[in-house]
Structure 1
Amino acid sequence: LCILVSFFLGFCTSLLLSQTPEHILALTNNKTEIVCELKKEHAGVYWYRWSQERQNFEFLIFSNSLGKATYGTNINKDKFSVHGVSSRTSYSLHISHLQASDNGTYYCSVSESSQLLLGSGTRLSVVDALPLPQKTTQAPISKKPMRCVTKRNAARGKGACSPLVWVPLAASILILLLSLVPTAHRFHRLRRRLWLRIHRQ
């Protein structure tokens, strides 16, 4: 089963091939590896590169089951190499001395019934420096003056102005005032007696 790729007649993606990883972010002058797994044995594996910048589909290398490699036009043999395993169902493309010109999507491919079946593709991005993870900064905690909360919170007994706080306080003040009434009354009577004595004399 395969789906024809719209921009290349005769090329198609297939469930018979799988590639890993889907995306590679690598540093300049480093090396990387793309693995192609086959569902069954084939005579060999082709590798292609699609360049979005140059808008071309370029043949890189073909490696047969015996490990013999055939390179495309103007392909650097020191940069690309293919390594297989004895099962002949797993091949890996090795790319060394990475440069920005190596950016693109790489496809492994096999030939079957006069068609080239393509893998899922691996997007390679070569950069001079890897991006640093973003640091999460916490906003400083602002110290706000205490203030009355909403009526809703006050009804729940929350906040500095809730009834649980000011009702006992008001009751204490009221009791204190009531205890001062007899004392004030006696003081007033004493003051009146002293005033009467002074005026009688």
Structure 2
Amino acid sequence: LCILVSFSLGFCTNLLLSQTPERILAQTNNKTEILCELKKEHTGIYWYRWSQERQNFEFLVFSNSLGKATYGANISKDKFSVHGVSSRTSYSLHIRHLHASDNGTYYCSVSQSSQLLLGSGTQLGVVDVLPLPQKTTQAPISKKPMRCVSKRNAASKKGACSPLVWVPLAASVLILLLSLVPTAHRLHRLRRRLWLRVHRQ
């Protein structure tokens, strides 16, 4: 199954070839690499570039299974090179000394039944300065409201802290009162004994 490409008859994209990555944004004078994987072995691979600006589908290089390369017209060997593996199912196009003129969509291709089957395509953009990565904005951490303003004035202010202050204080007063009950009872009995002695005499 292949789909005819609108810019040229006889070329078609095919699911038997896959390219990675889909897009590349690179800086001027740097280098980059495009990988093409084939579902089955072929005797060689072609590389083409489609320029939207020039409306031109340009042949770059053909590399056979032995690694011998044939370049297109006005294509520099120092700029483009093809590397393959022994399985003949994986090839990579290396592009050096990147320039704005290298912008375009790059296709790997194989010949089959007098047709050129194209890969999915890799869009290359070359810029002088790469954009800065976007900073992820983090929501400010909300602080939990303080239950107490301060230990010094907690007892004088009504609020969430007042029970924590008054409950222990009330409990202490209650314990103190309970501890005074036996003492008061003993004092009362002692006073009664003294009163009885005085009246008996």
TM-score class, shorter-chain normalisation, is 0.5 to 0.7
| Residue aligning to 1:26 | 26
Q: Which residue of structure 2 aligns with residue 37 of structure 1?
A: 37
- Equivalent residues in 2 for 1:99-110 (5 A)? 99-110=99-110
Shift of residue 133 of structure 1?
2.5
* 3-state SS, counterpart of residue 117 of structure 2: strand
Number of matched residues? 142
**SS of corresponding position for 1:101:** helix
**1:88 aligned partner, one-letter code:** R
Superposed CA RMSD in Å reads 1.8
**Identical aligned residues as a percent:** 89
CA distance in 2, matches of 1:66, 1:102: 27
In structure 2, distance between residues paired with 1:130 and 1:61: 28
What amino acid is the match of 2:134?
A: Q
Distance of 1:139 and 1:39 partners within structure 2: 47
TM-score for the superposition, normalised by structure 1:
0.67
Residue correspondence of structure 1 range 88-127 to structure 2 within 5 A: 88-127=88-127
**3-state SS of paired residue (2:26):** strand
**Which runs of 5 or more structure 1 residues have no equivalent in the other structure?**
141-201
* Structure 2 length-normalised TM: 0.67
Q: Distance in 1 between matches of 2:55 and 2:5?
A: 15
Q: Which amino acid aligns with 1:40?
A: K
1:75 partnered with 2:75: yes
| 3-state secondary structure, aligned to 1:91 | strand
Change (3 A) 1:94 1:139: closer
CA change 1:138–1:112 in 2 (3 A) is closer
| Cα distance in 1 between the residues matched to 2:136 and 2:16 | 43
Structure 2, unaligned stretches of length 5 or more? 141-201
Give the Cα–Cα distance (whole angstroms) in 2 for the partners of residues 44 and 107 of structure 1. Answer: 14
